Amino acid sequence: MDIRSERIISLKALIVHNSACHVSVVNDSISNLINALNSKDVATVYADSADDAAAVLNNDETIELVLLDWVMSDSEQNNESAKRVIQSLRRKNQSIPLFLLLDNRQAENLNHEIMRETDELIWVQEDTPFFLAGRIHSAILAYRDKIVPPLTRAIFEFAEKYEYSWHTPGHAGGTAFMKSAVGRAFHDYFGENLLRSDLSISVGELGSLLDHSGPIGDSEKFCARVFGADRAYTVTNGSSMSNRVIMMSSVARDDYALCDRNAHKSTEQALTMTGVIPTYLMPSRNYLGIIGPVYARQLSGDAVKEAIASNPLATDKNKKPLHSIITNSTYDGLTYHVPTVIKQLNSSVDRIHFDEAWYGYARFNPLYAERFGMYGEPDDYPRDLPTIFTTTSTHKLLAALSQASLIGVRDGRNSVPHERFNEAYMMHASTSPLYPIIMANEVSAEMMRGQSGQHLTTESITEAVRFRQAVRRIRRELQENDDWFFSTWNADFVPDPESGKKISFEDAPLSLLVTDPRCWELREGDIWHGFKGIEDSYCMLDPIKVSVVMPGVATDGSLENAGIPAALVTAFLSQKGIQVEKTTDFTILFLFSLGITKGKYGTLINALLKFKDAYDNNIPVKHLLYAHEDECPEAFKNKGLKDLANEMFLFFKETDLIKVQEKAFTILPKPVLTPAEAYIRLVHNDIETVSVDDLYNRTLATGVVPYPPGIPMIMPGENAGDKDSPYIKYLQILQLWDRRFPGFGHDIHGVENKNGVYYVQCLKESI
């Protein structure tokens, strides 16, 4: 297949050649070869040393072939420079064609190891530049053909036919947009390639997403191989759809399921749609309010039986749950040792569903070994163990487009056959999917395949570790002068593999922190993580999810004399053009995704230092937190940054917010109805709106999910409790905060804020 076109980037080759080591006739031949390549639209990048070549290979992802001079130095006896270039290339990519440029010197040094890494040998004086350029040109095209996954290839080929469209979508490859000024602007902004790729399922040669046939079916098989699943299903409506599909294929009305309470809202939706009776697994929580794992002992057969026995909704105490769902990793980057989870749940359920929406890269780096659902190889998985489902938001931390998601299935005990699974899938899938989303799914898979995945993930991990160490070094330097700075949430000390002694995190070798999972594992007794009684090495912190910690909270959970609420720092960073992933009371989460660039974190550190200066000097907030001073609320106009921080921090102390929040998220509300039963009442309008102050003993029609932390505090059908209820008290504290600190209000799903009063939908009549 010839995939040359304006749709693809121009061809590019790297030539590594030291002209000082060769006679003029050889150098002339190289120059003539470069000219011949340019005439074939092959751009060339030139490097005259091994170091320059390594720099190009590390920074230019568009290189598609390397021509390497085997003799890079007259003084070398074993061609060490050329060997270093080969090592740099193959560490990153095993597939890029490598051509060795030879003369008559040192050819005897070509051993079998070098030959295995080489695609062709070239004697530049033996063949014409025209012929050699043709060989190189063909090799690049063959490489492209090899790396382009099935559906992407099929769409490229279809687009090259330039067929007239007589099917949906109505814009007909973008033509309709050309008929108006605004449409033309839209067309020009997104480009013709995207619009020509927006096709209909009427194009039979591309296959069907609903019956998983043709190139689409091949694409899903390809993704399954890359991600280690028996089967994979492309989803074009995000992992919310993926979670709903999995649960609807596995459980039905009145079945029992075990559900991690630290779950995405789509789990609540799946419970509502299926009518399943949930028994909740309570996750742990630390002094910073960070949600941790469900401890291993809570997943044992006896613990599960006890949880079902104490569940008022589970009338048959001996009934076995069919399904369990676990969030891995947590929002803050805590990951499970999956074989332990499977071992613990093995006697209780036949199907384990790992929601790994934020964790799609784990398979591709040895740091995460055995800490993701599709660990190991499918053929090695014992089929008498539970069936495993995973959901992966390929758009979140891989390189796919928004809404792209992938379902993985590894068949085990009591598996769900494809035909039955697809019935659930078709209930949620669109009959008009956007093909570029499907293409992005498989392209992100191809990017992670082989050495490329480890290279890309290692780059993200490395940058995250560098940032963590830089922040902690600044903090240590300032603390030595009785000054303050932010910190990062990770171990204070890590084990030295040679001496066995502990070394401070900021002084540890970068290579150790990037490759050794022991540096990130949580162990019982370690103070830094705050999860008391956790099983050793059961849980690991993902280094690329970086929580920056504010001053103000001690490791025992008590508030110190002074502190800085994270919301203030987030507002400051926003004015600096830095948008964060998540803000809790005293932490801010930053994601070092695949899209991170080297040194990008320097800008963030600079902004944190500027916040410190503004805080220390009590600069007026109207100059710092607002694009225009007149946007500043009247209550803050005469306040400095430190003044406002102190006022907010005092609010935390006076309301005992941290302890109330802890109770609200560690004690389960009393369930009265299942989410499905509560939803029926909601649809029939058997509900009424109740203020938070009048919420005592009322059963909720909809869930209440405060952000942060973004997990359900009260589920539909659960009772809000009496006047001592921590749920009501927590909502009242947030309501008071929103009134006192305008512009810093909370986002709470299921709560409507009307003029500073919180309202919740409840079932009519207290049940």
More confident residue, 192 or 622: 622
Q: State the pLDDT at residue 497.
A: 84
Rounded Cα distance between 102 and 119, Å, is 13
Q: State the pLDDT at residue 197.
A: 80
Among 616, 651, 686, the domain-final residue is: 651
**Are residues 503 and 440 part of one domain?**
no
Report DSSP letters for 494-536, one per residue: EE-TTT--EEEGGGS-HHHHHH-GGGTB--TT-TTT--TTPPT
**Are residues 486 and 360 part of one domain?**
no
Which of 85-94, 389-398, 407-416, 604-613 is least confident?
85-94
Tell which residue, 159, 189, 185, 184, has the closest CA to residue 173. 159
Q: State the pLDDT at residue 5.
A: 43
More confident residue, 137 or 102: 137
Average of pLDDT values for 115-131?
83
**Are residues 510 and 619 part of one domain?**
yes
Rounded Cα distance between 137 and 642, Å, is 63
Which of 211-220, 288-297, 590-599 is least confident?
590-599
**Are residues 640 and 687 part of one domain?**
no
With respect to residue 194, please indicate whether it lies within any of the assigned structural domains: no
Joined tokens for residue 573: 């960073």
Which CATH number do you get for residue 16? 3.40.50.2300
**Are residues 162 and 69 part of one domain?**
no
Among 598, 620, 651, the domain-final residue is: 651
Q: If pLDDT is split at 50, 70 and 90, which confidence band does 48 have?
A: confident
Q: Between the CA atoms of 327, 587, 667 and 262, what dihedral angle is there, to the nearest 10 degrees?
A: -10
Phi, psi of 323 (to 5 degrees): -145, 145
With respect to residue 27, please indicate whether it lies within any of the assigned structural domains: yes
CA distances in angstroms from 97 to 67, 116, 612, listed in the order given: 9, 12, 51
With respect to residue 211, please indicate whether it lies within any of the assigned structural domains: no
Average of pLDDT values for 659-667?
93
With respect to residue 2, please indicate whether it lies within any of the assigned structural domains: no
**Are residues 611 and 467 part of one domain?**
yes
Q: State the pLDDT at residue 208.
A: 86
Q: State the pLDDT at residue 108.
A: 64
Q: State the pLDDT at residue 596.
A: 78
Rounded Cα distance between 48 and 69, Å, is 9
Which helix (H) or strand (E) segment holds residue 36: the answer is helix 24-39
**Are residues 470 and 406 part of one domain?**
no
**How many domains, the chain?**
5
Q: State the pLDDT at residue 419.
A: 95
CA distances in angstroms from 254 to 245, 278, 716, listed in the order given: 18, 9, 16
Average of pLDDT values for 45-71?
88
Tell me 459's DSSP state.
H
With respect to residue 52, please indicate whether it lies within any of the assigned structural domains: yes
Sequence-separated (6 or more) residues with CB below 8 Å from residue 417: none
Instruction: Kindly report the three-state secondary structure assignment for every residue of 408-441.
Output: EEECCECCCCHHHHHHHHHHHCCCCCCHHHHHHH
Rounded Cα distance between 424 and 634, Å, is 54
Tell me 255's DSSP state.
-
**Are residues 405 and 333 part of one domain?**
yes
Q: State the pLDDT at residue 6.
A: 43
Residue 223 predicted with pLDDT over 80? yes
Q: Which domain holds residue 183?
A: 151-187
Which CATH number do you get for residue 750? 3.90.100.10
Rounded Cα distance between 323 and 254, Å, is 12
* Helix 641-655 with 726-740: angle, nearest 10 deg: 160
Q: Which residue has the tokens 């600079």?
A: 606
Q: Is 357 helix (H, G, I), strand (E, B) or coil?
A: coil
Helices (H), 617-767: 621-624, 641-655, 657-666, 675-683, 726-740
Residue 563 predicted with pLDDT over 90? yes
CB-CB contact of 424 with 195 (8 Å): no
Which CATH number do you get for residue 390? 3.40.640.10
Q: State the pLDDT at residue 3.
A: 46
Is the link from the previous residue into 709 a cis peptide, with omega within 30 of 0?
Answer: yes
**Are residues 165 and 78 part of one domain?**
no
Report DSSP letters for 180-248, one per residue: SHHHHHHHHHH-HHHHHT---TT-GGG--TTTT-HHHHHHHHHHHHHHT-SEEEEESSHHHHHHHHHHH
Among 449, 483, 518, the domain-final residue is: 449
Which CATH number do you get for residue 643? 3.90.1150.10
Cα 563 from chain centre: 30
Rounded Cα distance between 360 and 396, Å, is 8
Cα 652 from chain centre: 32
CA distances in angstroms from 631 to 200, 397, 568, 642, 690, listed in the order given: 47, 35, 16, 19, 32
**Are residues 282 and 392 part of one domain?**
yes
How does pLDDT run across 705-755, given as a tens digit for each residue?
Answer: 998 767 899 999 999 999 899 999 999 999 999 999 999 999 999 999 999
Residue 4 predicted with pLDDT over 50? no
Which of 114-123, 165-174, 288-297 is least confident?
165-174
Q: State the pLDDT at residue 704.
A: 95
**Are residues 271 and 132 part of one domain?**
no
- Kindly provide the residue ranges of all beta strands, DSSP E only, lying in 236-381, ordered along the sequence: 256-260, 277-281, 323-327, 334-336, 351-355
Global model pTM greater than 0.85: yes
- Beta-carbon count within 10 A of 380 CB: 7
- Beta-carbon count within 10 A of 410 CB: 24
How does pLDDT run across 34-45, given as a tens digit for each residue?
Answer: 899 999 889 999
Sequence-separated (6 or more) residues with CB below 8 Å from residue 319: 256, 308
Q: State the pLDDT at residue 597.
A: 75
Q: State the pLDDT at residue 193.
A: 83
Average of pLDDT values for 527-544?
96
With respect to residue 558, please indicate whether it lies within any of the assigned structural domains: yes
**Are residues 155 and 143 part of one domain?**
no
Tell me, what amino acid is at 132? Answer: L
> Residue 651: exposed, middle, or buried by beta-carbon count in 10 A (0-12, 13-18, 19+)?
middle
Instruction: Kindly report the three-state secondary structure assignment for every residue of 571-638.
Output: HHHHHCCCCCCEECCCEEEEECCCCCCCCCHHHHHHHHHHHHHHHHCCCEHHHHCCCCHHHCCHHHCC
More confident residue, 493 or 599: 493
Number of H helices, E strands in the chain: 24, 27
Rounded Cα distance between 359 and 408, Å, is 13
With respect to residue 207, please indicate whether it lies within any of the assigned structural domains: no
Which of 35-49, 284-298, 616-630 is least confident?
35-49
**Largest alpha-carbon pair distance within the chain?**
95
Phi, psi of 640 (to 5 degrees): -85, 170
Strand order from edge to edge, sheet including 751-754: 687-691, 757-763, 751-754
Average of pLDDT values for 653-667?
93
Average pLDDT over the chain, rounded to an integer: 91
CB-CB contact of 365 with 592 (8 Å): no
Tell which residue, 701, 712, 668, has the closest CA to residue 313. 668
Tell me, what amino acid is at 682? Answer: L
Residue 688 predicted with pLDDT over 80? yes
Q: Is 389 helix (H, G, I), strand (E, B) or coil?
A: strand
- Beta-carbon count within 10 A of 459 CB: 18
Rounded Cα distance between 282 and 276, Å, is 18
With respect to residue 218, please indicate whether it lies within any of the assigned structural domains: no
Tell me 744's DSSP state.
-
Tell which residue, 147, 275, 699, 569, has the closest CA to residue 579. 569
Which helix (H) or strand (E) segment holds residue 751: the answer is strand 751-754
